[in-house]
């Protein structure tokens, strides 16, 4: 039996010798490489925190001592050590979540996978423990150096160091990267720590110290506490960053040296006040393809060959929305030297890498700081440029106030490109981008576009970057753009008509108003209705906010309008259309389809769409019931039927 097979919970780690812990670390890496290669997931971050996670669970007593991950993608090792070893369904419906999830285990405290929030969580939990006289409990926040680029981290540090009478340990997992290499003054400081003699002296000194000791397990700390403090004091120059925060600094510590980690964590634990342990790790540790990947060190992967690290079936995936944006932005930048771009530590994932390579002086990576990115964009617009802010749709939530008060109020010409909009699937609740349509459309003067295919994305991006009197938004999902969906005609105000049945008597039955990629579903539903003898029209507004006048006029000549969006139904585009019809005195019935007001769990996009009733068959069946007053099953027709 392997050592990993013997670990059913954290306390099974206590009896292991240092040598057994090192063997366990090797077994965990082998397990992760083999299993994550089958499903995809965050491989590189977890390979880098194997020893650190083992040490955390040996020193602290989870869940009595809560461990908060920032961000949760580095929690796979934690899942293994807390008894969750079935990774066969990782990030799939019914399987393990890719982030901490309270429903899975009492050891998972915080589910959000948005960075820079762990210290605020830890601040609140530790204050609660102190106030309720639970002084024997500790709170641990594991935060990456990339998350230190987020302002919320420093807001929390300011408050943590204002009230020191509590047991709080901050572990900075410093691997020099967020998704890609960490940027800014913070990154330069931490990098100087890695390369200075003080870290090398500390590392070499600890190695000499442990080479003279044969003491196993937790007693290593008690045997060497004084010597370790001496070593740490030699690295005191590295405390400069935190000197004015009044927080105990321990480190830097080799994040792959289990004994050194345990000593440092014990020292912080015994301090009795907030302490910060600076741990230096290597992302992708122990897996050559990840270690040699300069782009992102296998931060997030699809299915790969575990031996070579090469992706499986890439050719079958098709051209992605991100790839189309990446290409078109470079073309537009070549035509317009006022065009600049901003990313929040997501250069390659959002498609800005090509522009950064071609025009490096025109692309700004601000770190995990969406709020700063948006207000900085307003400043760039004031200065005469046209900024394109590219972020994941779910992360746009974090900068709503800046969009509202800094961009929109000042009528700044800023284009927001929201990748991973709508239901994204495997990454779960916090990564599904279902809130952007409902939240952003309340911003006065905003224009929101949702392309349906490659051609419309290229066209809409061109239009958006030409608007200088207010914010524009382009939003698209994760995955392949699919085949082209040509329009039959375009109205004078820019609405594309994709399907139009004959209208005996001038009135049709159903008008589908589809938001972007949902046009494909709407077309399938319309064909199903046609086969049932029900006339239908399908339009893609292209610009879904504000509602085009032609959509209102088309509604006058239909009995039922069905809006279809892959965003939250409450306050979505359908609601906006209903209000526009009411304002215009149009009494056509409206059915607003979208995702429920809930947090979608991890599953495939197709599964989540089906859960929400957003399939052609379900939509067509509902339409038939409304038009005819009877419920009949709708099956997908054969080509002959169409």
The token duo for 125 is 């939990």
Contact 560, 623 (CB under 8 A): yes
Residue 191 banded pLDDT, cuts 50, 70, 90: low
Q: Looking at residue 639, what is its pLDDT?
A: 45
- Does residue 383 belong to any structural domain of this protein? yes
**Mean pLDDT along residues 464-483:** 95
**Mean pLDDT along residues 462-484:** 95
| Distance of alpha carbon 466 from alpha carbon 458, whole angstroms | 13
Q: Provide the annotated binding site.
A: 73, 113-115, 145-147, 175, 287, 370
Q: Looking at residue 295, what is its pLDDT?
A: 61
**Mean pLDDT along residues 423-441:** 87
Of residues 239 and 515, which shows the higher confidence score?
A: 515
pLDDT tens for 217-234 read 333 333 333 433 433 433
Q: Looking at residue 230, what is its pLDDT?
A: 38
Residue 216 banded pLDDT, cuts 50, 70, 90: very low
Residue 263 banded pLDDT, cuts 50, 70, 90: very high
Using the predicted structure, report yes or no on whether residue 473 has a pLDDT greater than 90. Answer: yes
Mean of per-residue pLDDT scores for the chain: 85
Q: Which of 231, 224, 223 is nearest to 205 (CA)?
A: 231
- Does residue 315 belong to any structural domain of this protein? no
**Mean pLDDT along residues 396-418:** 96
Using the predicted structure, report yes or no on whether residue 46 has a pLDDT greater than 70. Answer: yes
| Same structural domain, 117 and 246 | yes
CA quadruple 327, 332, 333, 335: dihedral sign: positive
- Does residue 480 belong to any structural domain of this protein? no
Mark whether 204 is an active-site residue. no
- Which stretch, 133-142, 160-169, 196-205, has highest mean pLDDT? 133-142
Q: Looking at residue 40, what is its pLDDT?
A: 84
Q: Looking at residue 233, what is its pLDDT?
A: 39
| Distance of alpha carbon 98 from alpha carbon 177, whole angstroms | 20
CA atoms within 13 A on the CB side of 321: 26
Q: What percent of the chain has pLDDT over 90?
A: 57
Mark whether 398 is an active-site residue. yes
Using the predicted structure, report yes or no on whether residue 213 has a pLDDT greater than 70. Answer: no
CATH number of the domain where residue 576 is located: 3.40.50.920
- Bridge-based pairing of strands 536-540 and 508-514 is parallel
| Same structural domain, 32 and 69 | yes
- Does residue 482 belong to any structural domain of this protein? no
Of residues 335 and 297, which shows the higher confidence score?
A: 335
- Does residue 637 belong to any structural domain of this protein? no
| Same structural domain, 127 and 249 | yes
| Same structural domain, 456 and 353 | yes
Residue 631 banded pLDDT, cuts 50, 70, 90: low
Q: Looking at residue 343, what is its pLDDT?
A: 93
- The answer to which of 208-222, 378-392, 448-462, 508-522 has the lowest mean pLDDT is 208-222
**Mean pLDDT along residues 300-308:** 74
Domain hosting residue 179, numbered range = 3-291
| Same structural domain, 229 and 332 | no
| Same structural domain, 132 and 73 | yes
| Same structural domain, 524 and 616 | yes
Using the predicted structure, report yes or no on whether residue 175 has a pLDDT greater than 90. Answer: no
CATH number of the domain where residue 10 is located: 3.40.50.970
The token duo for 577 is 């259309």
Cα distances (Å, whole numbers) of residue 561 to 575, 578, 623? 12, 9, 10
Catalytic residue among 328, 398, 420, 527: 398
| Same structural domain, 368 and 493 | no
CA quadruple 34, 37, 39, 45: dihedral sign: positive
- Does residue 412 belong to any structural domain of this protein? yes
**Mean pLDDT along residues 305-321:** 74
Residue 451 banded pLDDT, cuts 50, 70, 90: very high
Select from 291, 316, 338 the last residue of a domain: 291
Q: What percent of the chain has pLDDT over 70?
A: 85
Select from 240, 271, 291 the last residue of a domain: 291
| Same structural domain, 151 and 284 | yes
β partners of residue 413: none
| Same structural domain, 341 and 199 | no
- The answer to which of 32-36, 149-153, 289-293, 574-578 has the lowest mean pLDDT is 289-293
- Does residue 424 belong to any structural domain of this protein? yes
Catalytic residue among 51, 111, 370, 454: 370
pLDDT tens for 535-563 read 999 999 999 999 999 999 999 999 999 99
Select from 475, 510, 545 the last residue of a domain: 475
Mark whether 79 is an active-site residue. no
The token duo for 458 is 């290229």
| Same structural domain, 509 and 415 | no
Q: Which of 541, 593, 573, 509 is nearest to 500 (CA)?
A: 509
| Same structural domain, 285 and 336 | no
Using the predicted structure, report yes or no on whether residue 237 has a pLDDT greater than 50. Answer: no
Q: Looking at residue 5, what is its pLDDT?
A: 93
- Does residue 604 belong to any structural domain of this protein? yes
Using the predicted structure, report yes or no on whether residue 286 has a pLDDT greater than 90. Answer: no
Using the predicted structure, report yes or no on whether residue 387 has a pLDDT greater than 90. Answer: yes
pTM here? 0.83
Number of domains in the chain: 3
- Which stretch, 151-165, 185-199, 560-574, has highest mean pLDDT? 560-574
Using the predicted structure, report yes or no on whether residue 105 has a pLDDT greater than 70. Answer: yes
DSSP codes joined into one string, 335-400: H-TTEEEEESS-TTTTT-HHHHHH-GGGEEE--S-HHHHHHHHHHHHHTT-EEEEEEEHHHHGGGH
Residue 317 banded pLDDT, cuts 50, 70, 90: low
| Distance of alpha carbon 167 from alpha carbon 158, whole angstroms | 16
Q: Provide the annotated binding site for thiamine diphosphate.
A: 73, 113-115, 146-147, 175, 287, 370
Catalytic residue among 84, 283, 520, 542: 283
Using the predicted structure, report yes or no on whether residue 633 has a pLDDT greater than 70. Answer: no
Residue 297 banded pLDDT, cuts 50, 70, 90: low
Classified as helix, coil or strand, 593 is: strand
Q: Looking at residue 198, what is its pLDDT?
A: 46
H or E stretch covering 547: none
Q: Which of 138, 178, 148 is nearest to 268 (CA)?
A: 138
Of residues 606 and 444, which shows the higher confidence score?
A: 444
């Amino acid at each position: 039996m392997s050592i990993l097979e013997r670990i059913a919970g954290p306390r099974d780690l206590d009896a292991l010798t240092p040598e057994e812990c090192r063997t366990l670390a090797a077994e965990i890496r082998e397990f992760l490489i083999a299993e994550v290669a089958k499903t995809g997931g965050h491989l590189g971050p977890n390979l880098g925190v194997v020893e650190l996670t083992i040490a955390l669970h040996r020193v602290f007593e989870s869940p009595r001592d809560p461990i908060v991950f920032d961000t949760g993608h580095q929690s796979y090792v934690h899942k293994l050590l807390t008894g969750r070893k079935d990774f066969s369904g990782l990030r799939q419906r019914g399987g393990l979540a890719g982030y901490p999830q309270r429903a899975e285990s009492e050891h998972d405290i915080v589910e959000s996978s948005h960075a820079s929030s762990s210290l605020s969580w830890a601040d609140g939990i530790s204050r609660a423990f102190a106030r309720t006289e639970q002084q024997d409990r500790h709170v641990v926040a594991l935060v990456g150096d990339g998350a230190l680029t987020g302002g919320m981290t420093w807001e929390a540090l300011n408050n943590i160091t204002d009230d020191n009478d509590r047991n709080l340990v901050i572990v900075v997992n410093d691997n020099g990267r967020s998704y890609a290499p960490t940027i800014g003054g913070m990154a330069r400081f931490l990098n100087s720590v890695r390369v200075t003699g003080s870290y090398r002296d500390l590392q070499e000194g600890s190695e000499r110290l442990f080479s003279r000791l044969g003491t196993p397990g937790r007693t290593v700390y008690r045997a060497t506490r004084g010597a370790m403090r001496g070593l740490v004091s030699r690295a005191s120059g590295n405390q400069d960053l935190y000197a004015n925060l009044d927080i105990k600094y321990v480190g830097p510590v080799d994040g792959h040296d289990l004994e050194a980690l345990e000593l440092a964590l014990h020292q912080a634990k015994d301090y009795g006040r907030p302490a910060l342990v600076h741990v230096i790790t290597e992302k992708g540790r122990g897996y050559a393809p990840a270690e040699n990947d300069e782009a992102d060190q296998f931060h997030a992967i699809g299915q790969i060959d575990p031996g070579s690290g090469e992706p499986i079936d890439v050719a079958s995936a098709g051209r992605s929305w991100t790839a189309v944006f990446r290409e078109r932005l470079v073309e537009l930048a070549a035509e317009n030297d006022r065009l600049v771009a901003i990313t929040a530590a997501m250069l390659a994932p959002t498609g800005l890498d090509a522009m950064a390579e071609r025009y490096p002086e025109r692309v700004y990576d601000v770190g995990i700081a969406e709020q700063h990115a948006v207000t900085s964009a307003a400043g760039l617009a004031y200065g005469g440029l046209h900024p394109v802010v590219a972020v994941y749709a779910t992360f746009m939530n974090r900068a709503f106030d800046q969009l509202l008060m800094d961009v929109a109020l000042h009528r700044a010409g800023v284009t927001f490109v929201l990748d991973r909009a709508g239901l994204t699937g495997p990454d779960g609740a916090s990564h599904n981008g279902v809130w952007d349509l409902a939240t952003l459309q309340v911003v006065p003067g905003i224009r929101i576009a949702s392309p349906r295919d490659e051609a419309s994305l290229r066209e809409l991006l061109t239009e958006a970057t030409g608007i200088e009197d207010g914010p524009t938004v382009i939003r698209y999902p994760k995955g392949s753009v699919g085949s082209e969906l040509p329009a039959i005609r375009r109205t004078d105000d820019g609405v594309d008509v994709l399907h139009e049945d004959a209208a005996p008597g001038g009135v049709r039955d159903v008008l589908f108003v589809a938001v972007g990629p949902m046009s494909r579903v709407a077309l399938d539903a319309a064909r199903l209705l046609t086969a049932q003898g029900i006339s239908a029209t399908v339009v893609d507004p292209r610009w879904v906010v504000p509602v085009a006048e032609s959509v209102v006029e088309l509604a006058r000549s239909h009995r039922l309008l069905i809006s279809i969006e892959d965003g939250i139904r409450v306050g979505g585009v359908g609601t906006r259309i209903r209000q526009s019809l009411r304002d215009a005195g149009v009494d056509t019935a409206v059915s607003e389809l979208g995702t429920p007001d809930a947090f979608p769990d991890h599953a495939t996009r197709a599964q989540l769409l089906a859960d929400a009733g957003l399939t052609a068959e379900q939509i067509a069946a509902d339409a038939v019931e409304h038009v005819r007053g009877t419920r009949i099953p709708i099956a997908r027709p054969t080509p002959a039927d169409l």
